[in-house]
Amino acid sequence: MKICVLCGGRSNERDVSLSTGTMVAKALRASGHKVVFLDACEGFELNKMSPSELYDAEIPIAERKISEAAPDVSKYFGRKEGFFGKNVLDICREADIVFNALHGDEGENGMVQAVLDLLGIRYTGSGMQGCILAMNKHLSKQLFIANGIPTPPAVYLTNGISDDPDWRRHIGFPCVVKPGSLGSSVGVSIVYNDAELDAALREASRFESLVIIEKYIRGREFSVGIVGGKALPAIEIIPKHGFYDYKNKYQAGCTEEICPAELDEAVAQRMGETAVKVFKVLDLGAYARVDFMMDESGFYVLEANTLPGMTPISLLPQEAKAAGISFNNLLETIIEESLSLKK
């Protein structure tokens, strides 16, 4: 099968995407597929080569490392060619399927999915609608509430104006301040008092105008992967310092993960069932990951991730391994599920 692994992009999660793309492309090539590793924003200079010939070329795939801080992506904005680099869509058209390894912004908010849909290009993961709903934390939280899915209470600020001026009374401190639609904990702060609030709001507002102030759930953190509509074993996430931020997510040795999580069997089952419900409510497809916090009163859904990372220390591959699914077989299942949705 000819597979284009589309990654990179121009979100603050660019490095994560390139690392995911590298892992995925190498594994798929090892499984016998004709694979092109393609940076969505950089593109590829074909010279006299056709897109079809590119899939036979087996161009070496370099190792990618994730830096401790989000990368500078400013050069990819305001340019004449827009989001996609040279020849990207022509190379994607030649593939039997595009493995979407983008993270954040256009790659995960439905925009790239819409372009590929319009061009009749098949791709992995959720469609445009599911991506829009999951990426916008305001929309997804409203759907959780409407469908009886437990989620921490929150208020929303647009350009600094709150929809609930009295939020301190029923949310209070500590609270979580975060951008309305970013991933990888970019722009996220835990705020313990009013003195810390302004700095946290400024940090979140650097990335987008919608900011969420959410009740902080002090307790244990979990994630549950969904593949083909079925829940994988839950994984517990224990950062060694601070919370599960960008550095703790992507730097080896910063976080301890336990999979399967040490949970009461009934609780683990309910968590898996809730993750599947989130998957359906948000109209997701093929695979996703649902994040939870749990305190003494129960568990709460934080958000759903439509394009979970596939880096060497990512959560979904660990959960799949605990279920007896190798990394290569996980990729094959994702591709099969995606093709069945986009016939």
What are the average pLDDT values for consecutive 10-residue runs of the chain, which has 343 residues? 96 90 96 98 94 94 79 90 96 98 92 97 97 93 97 86 74 88 73 89 84 92 96 92 50 79 97 98 97 96 94 88 95 97 74
Delimit the domains of the chain by residue range: 2-123, 134-149+218-341, 154-215
**Domains 2-123 and 154-215 alike in fold:** no
Q: Which of 17, 140, 223, 305 is catalytic?
A: 305
* Annotated catalytic residue, options 100, 184, 314, 338: 184
- Active-site residue identified among 76, 123, 246, 250: 250
Helix (H) or strand (E) holding 108: helix 105-108
What CATH number is given for 134-149+218-341 in this structure? 3.30.470.20
Q: Are strands 220-227 and 230-231 parallel, antiparallel or unpaired?
A: antiparallel
Place of tokens 């849909």: 117
Q: Is 265 part of the annotated catalytic residue set?
A: no
Write down the residue that tokens 């009461």 correspond to. Answer: 264
What is residue 248's predicted lDDT score, i.e. its pLDDT? 45
Q: Is 172 exposed, middle or buried (0-12, 13-18, 19+ CB in 10 A)?
A: exposed
**How many residues does the structure list for the chain?**
343
pLDDT at 242: 56
Establish whether 309 is a catalytic residue: yes
Distances (CA, A) of 131 to 128, 139, 229, 267: 5, 11, 16, 28
CATH architecture of 2-123: 3-Layer(aba) Sandwich (3.40)
Known catalytic residue at 305: yes
Tell me the three state secondary structure of residue 107. helix
CB 189 within 8 A of CB 177: yes
Annotated active-site residue in 13, 15, 106, 214: 13
CA R_g for the chain: 20
pTM of this structure: 0.90
| Cβ neighbour number for residue 159 with a 10 Å cutoff | 8
CATH number 3.40.50.300 is the correct assignment for the domain at 154-215: no
